[in-house]
Structure formats: structure tokens, C-alpha cells
Chain A
């Protein structure tokens, strides 16, 4: 059972977080709020989203799992006005969720939970380096790299005290560095890993709205991006597996 109301901007942001990676997910609903974890079809990227009950203007729920068609949600979200209220209503054991906003009353069929991929187990990885930068700086550097290549390296040079991003195309090269004084936070450790810009462009667009994004990196390891949404009442983590650096 779920009976809740939420600001349309927060709901839209949450859907965007998921839509950057997957087209469907299993959403766990509990009295504490919403949570979900999902992996993209190639098992290369993972997302986890937690939206606490506090992110809603009203929230009453019992434990249940629902299958959400993210594509469909994205289309519906596009119909919503800014800073409006969305009411969600799902009866116990129901197969359709009622979504009401600005006079519209959608009744949306849920996916059979069993047809949606199970939550992936998050891998245990140790990422020693950490920087905190603004989402817009991160997204701009991703866009800049995409002009010359389809992959980007993130790295930390602890001696120089810098965080850098670097991309090599067939002919062209781009390098961008941030000294530690320009960073919100800096935990130095030798780190460099290469990632696909295909994925990062989609994730970057979502992260660009966040003031602070934590980037955790290591040597030829996945990268973890952590940031909050809904005024800190929601938390997101993206994990992206690295590419193999060709010699």
C-alpha cells in the first residue's frame, strides 16, 4: 500500500536519475521511503537511489516491491508542471498506481516484478581517492572530452595535489586539471582509470544539477559518483566499470 504526495520537481529528478541508466526497475517501498538498485543491460553501470519519506510532503506506506517502467514514467513526468504536487496511490496488492497532478488522474499499469531484473549485489571495491566537485564542472569536462574522444580518464596526482581529466582521440587530446584548492574536498591517493563517455554523458547530465558530487576513484577501478537530491532527503550513487586502457 502507498499513499503519498510529492513535489513534482523532486519526483522528476528521481525518475531522471534512473532513466540515465535503465528503462525499468524494481522499486522497494517501505515506511521509510523509496529505494532501488539497478544495473544497465551490459552490466557496466549501476545505480542506487534512496528517497526517504521526508522527501515527500505526505507519506504512508507498507512494505512492497513494484516494477516501474521508467520510460513510461519519463513521458508522464514530462506532462507535469513545475513545483506542483503529485499524489501517488497504490492499494495493497494493486497492479496499477494512480498518479494525480494538475487535474490529471493517470492509472498506470505496473510491471510484473518477476520480469524485472533482480537488484544487483553491489561489488565490494576499495576506491582510495576522493574529490568533491560541482556537478556542472564535472558535466562540462565530460562534454569537452566528448568532442575529441569516446573515453575519458579520471585521475589524481597526489604529489602535485591535483585531480585531472584527460581524453585521447585518434588525432586530438584534451587535458583539464583542478588543483586541490579549487576542490570542495580532496583525499589524495594515486589513481587513474578510463571510462566510456557514452555512459558518462547520460550520467553527467543528471549530476550537472547537483552542487556537490563526490567522485571516488582508484587505479584501473570503477568510479563511484555520490550526490544528493531532494534537499538532501534523497541519495544517489552511480557506479561505472572502467575501460581497459590500450597501450
Chain B
């Protein structure tokens, strides 16, 4: 049981591989990423078998890392009395317009959900209750919390259960054995420069999603390059690590786009769902009622609600607002507390605009697209045990695909399921950690990861920031970013692929002045790999199924005959070639899928 301090940064300027010290740690279960899902993996694994050696490799410091670092104001799914796990799956299916989705995964998650949320409350999370003691629902499925301490609460439990947490180690690659199975992972210590090799019987990949593939509209000429609502330090490294080794990805074309507060990205459900504030356009029309009543109005599928304000802008009816005018003072105070719990600096933003929401409505706009399997479906194709197509590699939370609308509670529940799956795998296969270290594999990864630092600051090359900016602009303009109202077509996607190939070829010019920049260089290489997969997914779905999340101007209609199925991609580890293919959808939970 240890939370290992990363210590202060040292000046580390290696010239070649021999200057990099390697640290080898052996364990039973490795967790890459100690966020929401990762903490639950650790707690569950130690609960099942306290003798297991469980290690968390964490890029930041576990108390404030990942999507929950700033806190949270709600748990979006908790099954109320009188409702069943099947009902939750039906709701989730409706949110993604009838699917396809992995109903097997969704159902197993739903069955585990409430217990995981109850865990959080037992660990000290304040869940708001009515005067009669019942849990306070703010919508049909979501409950209000005071989650400012959500992340420290989860992290403390993971440490308390006996996991060893190695902080500030950015995962770069998976370790595989002769059969191609995953037997751990490798990463760079961003403070000391040491290279860590974690060898494990089973590995859970829970690094979070990819929040920075596309340009934020606030990024130009401001000191706000990371003005996104998802954690900008979750860049898709988990997807990239698996993809490079040939693990199959699913549904990346179903990008997560959400309506957010404009100019300073904060949640909107907090006001529209939590406080019943209608979404209006510049003329004061209630958008959802005026134009989307036939799709359910305020209860329309999530992608329709996300795209609605952007359609108003496109049609010349922006700005768009969440109409908070007329809220009473006390309700407004509670709404500000919700923001302080999840996105505190949004309250500062309102103060910096001199804006009182009771008198002026809160402006809203669409976010840039993110890839997040905890919200939409992009992630690894997994079995019911949450094992990816790479034996020994499991996924939980944002990294596990096919199963949308998990959010905090669902990612926690899935952490438990992945822990059980990983332990079952260890027992059934009798897998062991090899005696000898695969020196060649480790050396090649050090060569790849540290190359920008070996070149150094004086080298006439490319700084990681410039390559990141180039990629984000490319994705924004050609692969359906917010500047293009999320639209794309075959020609733009081909253009994107052509330039992604150039970027990949230019990895050999990346340079880093210090360890922080070296981490950024590796993050940007990961972004490029994930972006390539995203573009292949967008290309393969030649229809428009989830406008906003996935809009093809050249195929504007839904095509159930050809595309009521999953789009998959896999990269050949030896050639680097990406192939896309489909997998069928199976309806498990009864009910009408398409309501309109």
C-alpha cells in the first residue's frame, strides 16, 4: 500500500538509450490510469483477492487526475425504484437513436451500477437527498451530488485497499509476449526520466478518452488552448497503445459532441435538466419544442439535443441560450454550487463577464468532438469480461467501446467488471510473468519514446505543440469539427488521411527540450494514431446516423440496410496499415428501437 510521490522535476538530458535508466516492476494486475474506472478496478481486485499485487500506473497524481479531477455535480445514471437494468439499457439505446450498441455490455453494466454508486456514498461522497431521505433525482436517471472531492475519495480508497500507485508515469506502450498477448505496459516518468516496465499477468487499460484531437474554437489567439470540458490531459494514449499492437477499435465515428456553455466550456445539463431551463435561440424561440417535438422535445436523443443549437447558428438564428432568467435567488445559488462542484472556474467566468444568470440567459454552443467510450461508443471492442481482442488486455471506462452513457457510475461499475474479468483470465490461463526481461522490446520502445529528447532543443525540428496544433486544425476543418458544424465528406476525409500520413512521417523531426515536452511529443504521436483511426471510422460509415456526432454531407440519410451494424478498425502492427470492417448488432433487450 503506497502512493508514491513523483518528487520534483530533474534536469535530464540523455543522448542515447544507454543514458536512460530502466526500472522493472512485476505484479499480478496492472492498471493503466488511476481515474474513475481505474480506482474501481483496484478496489474490486483487492476485494476478490487481497494477496494480488495490484499496481496503478498514473500519468498525473492520483488525487487529482483524469476526468474527475475538478469534481462532479451529478451521477448521470442511478436506477430508481420501480425501474430495471433493462429499462436503463432501453434509455441508453434511445439516447443513441436506437443503436446499434452493445446491449450485452450495457446490461451487465446496468446490473452492477447502483452498487458502485452506493460504494461512493459509503466512501464519503455526499449524495443529495430529499427531506424523507430518498435520493434526489434531477432528471429521470441522474442524481445530484456534491462531488468536489469525488476524485480524492476514489483515490484514497484505491490506496487504502493496498494498490501501489506510481504517479507521473505516462504510459507509452504495451508489453507483449511471444504469442502477442499483453503482459504489462511501459511508460516514462515525467519527473525523473526513468523508463518503467510494468510486467503483469493481466492489464486493464483505463486511461480515459481522447479529448484533444480537434481544435477548440476558443484556441485561437487566447491563453485558453485547452478550453474543453473533457479532461484535456486524456489525449487517447490508451487507445493508441492498443491500436498500435493490433487491438480492435469499435465505433470511433460516434464522436461525443455536447452542448456546452459558450466561450468557457461548462456543462449544460446542469441547467437544462437540473433546473428545467429551456434552450432558446436569438428570437427567444424554445428550440426543442419548436423544431424537435416530433423527436421527443427535451427528451430527444442526446445527439439531437447536442446538435440543435448548432443548427440554429447555421440557419442564422444564433446566438443560442439556456434561459435561466427568472430563476429565484436561492435556486440560482444552488445552480452555482453545482458548477463549483464540477467546473468551478465557470462561476469565475460568469463573474468575469459581470453576468447574473437570473437576469441574463447563459449562452451555449457545441463542443469540439471527443472520443470517449464512457459517453458515446468509441473504444476497444471487448468481450463480456471486458477483454479486448488482445489477450491479457482489458478495458474499462472511456477506453471500452460499444457501451455508451456510462458516465461516472457506469465507469465505476465497469471497473469492477474488468477486475473480475482480469482475475478470471489469470486463473483460467495460468499466465505467468516471464523470468527474463524482453530487452529488445524494451530498448525499441525507449528508442521510440525518447527520440525527441535525444534530438534536444537545439535540433532544427518540430516542437510537439506545433504538431498538435496542425493536427487539431486538420481534424477540425476536414474531419467534421465545430467550425464545420461537424460535417464532413469522403473527399475531406481522404485529405485528412493524406496529411495524417505526412504527420506520421514527420515524427522523426519531433524534438523536446525537457521531460514535460517529451511527454507532449508522445501524447501528440498518440493523438495522430487515434485521429487516423477516427478518420477511417468516419469514412466507413457512409450514412448519417447520429447528426452532429457523425454527419456525412455526401450521405445525409440513415441507411439501415447497410449500416445498422458496428464499424471496426484494426491496424496491422507489422505494416501499419489500417483496415475497417463491420460487426453485426444484436438486440437483447426488447422494445421499439426507432421511435421516429
* B partners with A: no
Binding site for B on A (CB under 8 A): none
The interface of chain B, by Cβ under 8 A from chain A, is none
